[in-house]
Copies of this chain bind each other. A is one copy, B any other.
Amino acid sequence: MTQRTSNASPTGNNGGALPRQRRTYTIGELSKMFEVTPRTIRFYEQEGLLAPERRGQTRIYHEKDRVRLKLTLRGKRLGFSLAEIREVVEMYDAMPDGNTRQLERLLEILADKRANLERQLEDIRLMQRELDDVEARAREVLTRLGAQPPAT
């Protein structure tokens, strides 16, 4: 009843060329798809990370918006602030007519984020070793207690 899933029929089909896959999404669909609340999505819009179409009063999201939300959430999982993410997003949008200084600034930011990712990679490796150690010790204690250590 609720699930419309793959049913395409968008309300207004343009009489001309059909654009490949004209799928659109409501805020609720995206919300469930990415397991965030509608409030979160609206908040991201308010922060300049999304700019969905409006049909009357209701928001309509296209593929582009969905991708951007996906990237935003990925950035968040990596610990970037919304402000940082927006900075890149805005410059990306302004790229075609961006001046040289803007573009070089963008490259700076990108290099910065790259460095960040590298450090995170190293952190992850180190953290994994720590987890190995802790787990090994835990299992050791468990066996000493005579319990069956659960298989990994």
Contacts and interface: CB of A to CB of B under 8 A. Distances in A.
Interface stretch (A18-26, A29-37, A102-110): A102-110
Contacts of A88: 134
* Interface of chain A, main secondary structure: helix
Contacts of A150: 104, 107
B136 A2 contact: yes
A83 interface: no
B79 A141 contact: no
Contacts of A142: 100, 103-104
Contact of A134 (B3, B106, B135): B106
Interface of A: 1-3, 71, 74-75, 77-79, 88, 92, 95-96, 98, 100, 103-104, 106-107, 110, 113-114, 117, 119-121, 123-124, 126-139, 141-142, 145, 147, 150
A100 B144 CA distance: 10
Given A2-B132, A74-B123, 5 more contacts: A77-B120, A78-B124, A104-B142, A110-B131, A120-B120
A80 to B, nearest CB: 9
Nearest to A104: B150
